[in-house]
Structure 1
Amino acid sequence: MADELIFYTNPMSRGQIARWMLEEVGAPYEPRILDYGTTMKDAAYLAVNPMGKVPAIVHNGKTVTECAAICAYLADAFPEKGLAPDPADRADYYRWLFFTAGPVEQAITAKHFGVEPDVDQQRMAGFGSLAAALDTLESAVAGKAFVAGDRFSAADVYVGSQIDWGLQFGTIAPRPAFEAYATGLRERPAYKRAKEIDNGLIAEMQAAGGGG
């Protein structure tokens, strides 16, 4: 089918990031909601993503996994939406998109698991320390509405989601720069639509007595 776009997700997952990006794109997509213990590990989905994790998209028969990659891919696949800077202006776009997907998420995960690298280990760990990663992320958004240039981009979907999520669940300590950046992004209509969809799905799951 021409322009087929399938979205595999669970509303209680990083799939919320991809959902927001899809709503920014505005192209029709077919959502497929997976459960953690069953359909996410079935052979049918493992053929899409052998990791058995969501989100994933299949666009015109091509599979893309990993939230940052999905954001960047959709921006390029739908250039008319203006969700990626011009090629000559993509330094900050790529830098902060992948810095947040790499060092920031690694640092937050390590802290969640009770791992705090000592000084020698920090030289080996790509994120160094959580404090260093968050200080650097703060420098990227301080005093800015958007992380890359003077207009919204796919990088804001990913960076904004990580900050928004971190502030909500306490994995990122509140800082004025983070609060101001996230507050502006929460006003986007696509953000609100995505949250409404996923929150509705979560409510349905909870009413049915399951969490996925």
Structure 2
Amino acid sequence: MTDPNRITLYYSPQSRATGARILLEELGAPYDLQILNMKAGEQRGPAYLAINPLGKVPAIHHRGELVTEQVAIFIYLADLFPQGGLTPALNDPLRGPYLRWIAYYGSSFEPALIDKFMQREPAPITQSPYADYDTMLGALEAQLARGPYLLGERMTAADILWGVAFSWTMMFGIVPKKDVFVRYAERITSRPAFQRISAADAEMAAQHAAVVGG
């Protein structure tokens, strides 16, 4: 009998989809991978563009419906598997702060990050979705300084999202290696789920590169 809660995750190694897979592991959720070789451009092929016209991962299928956008996927999965303990309930006082910081990732952090990475001038502060880079990052630093997690002592799906993001962005020098960010990322990257998926990703990425290289 097919498990109605089984998730299909459209996936490519060492991409934004990595965090979604780590979250699935943390939740103990049943899932299958639909793997795309992004080095070969499969995410831009007609088969996948029919699923997600933006050609981006992650995306998930569940109960016949498609969910895209990394933040939406994190909220959806954590709510779908509340037994994983990674989401505050609707009547929990922490629900609002949880949604604030998980949405902050997509609405403020990523736009600021891309502008910085591309060395683009940001929009005027009154029109920018993230004010300015230093203000955006400073708000995060102040929140994480209360630690050990975004919501204090309680780890949530938001921390999986942010911990993975910090580990990558500090590696590439887009986010400075401030002590508060380094310690926070280490709390997530030292977890077994992160270690398992990182090892699997490295192997899968090597296979994809070999296919492209012939």
- TM-score above 0.5, yes or no: yes
Q: How much has 1:161 moved relative to structure 2?
A: 1.7
Deviations 1:175-199 (CA, angstroms, capped at 9, x unpaired): 1110111111112111112212211
Aligned pairs for 1:90-169 within 5 A: 90-117=95-122, 121-169=124-172
Matching residue within 173, 195, 198 for 1:195? 198
Distance in 2 of aligned mates of 1:116 and 1:142:
29
Distance in 1 of aligned mates of 2:17 and 2:86:
19
| Aligned partner letter, 1:166 | T
Distance in 1 of aligned mates of 2:167 and 2:41:
29
Residue correspondences, number:
208
SS of residue in 2 equivalent to 1:172: coil
| Aligned partner letter, 1:14 | R
Note if contact 1:57-1:63 (Cα within 8 Å) is conserved in structure 2. Answer: yes
**RMSD value, Cα:** 1.7
Note if contact 1:146-1:156 (Cα within 8 Å) is conserved in structure 2. Answer: yes
Distance in 2 of aligned mates of 1:200 and 1:161:
18
Does 2:62 correspond to 1:59?
Answer: yes
Q: How much has 1:38 moved relative to structure 2?
A: 4.2
Q: How much has 1:171 moved relative to structure 2?
A: 0.9
| Aligned partner letter, 1:94 | L
Q: How much has 1:41 moved relative to structure 2?
A: 2.4
Distance in 2 of aligned mates of 1:138 and 1:149:
13
In the alignment, which residue of structure 1 is the partner of 2:36? Answer: 34
In the alignment, which residue of structure 2 is the partner of 1:8? Answer: 10
Distance in 1 of aligned mates of 2:10 and 2:122:
35
Note if contact 1:96-1:140 (Cα within 8 Å) is conserved in structure 2. Answer: no
Note if contact 2:37-2:208 (Cα within 8 Å) is conserved in structure 1. Answer: no
Q: How much has 1:209 moved relative to structure 2?
A: 4.5
Matching residue within 156, 173, 177 for 1:174? 177
TM-score, normalisation: structure 2: 0.90
* Runs of at least 5 residues in structure 1 that lack an aligned partner in the other structure: none
Aligned CA distance change for structure 1 residues 95 and 70 (closer, same or farther; 3 Å):
same
Q: How much has 1:44 moved relative to structure 2?
A: 2.7
What percent of counterpart residues are identical?
A: 37
Distance in 2 of aligned mates of 1:117 and 1:70:
28
Note if contact 1:9-1:33 (Cα within 8 Å) is conserved in structure 2. Answer: yes
Note if contact 1:127-1:133 (Cα within 8 Å) is conserved in structure 2. Answer: yes
| Aligned partner letter, 1:202 | A
User: RCO higher in 1 or 2 (8 Å CA, sep ≥ 6)?
Assistant: 1
Deviations 1:117-142 (CA, angstroms, capped at 9, x unpaired): 37xx1111011111111111111211
| Aligned partner letter, 1:50 | P
SS of residue in 1 equivalent to 2:175: coil
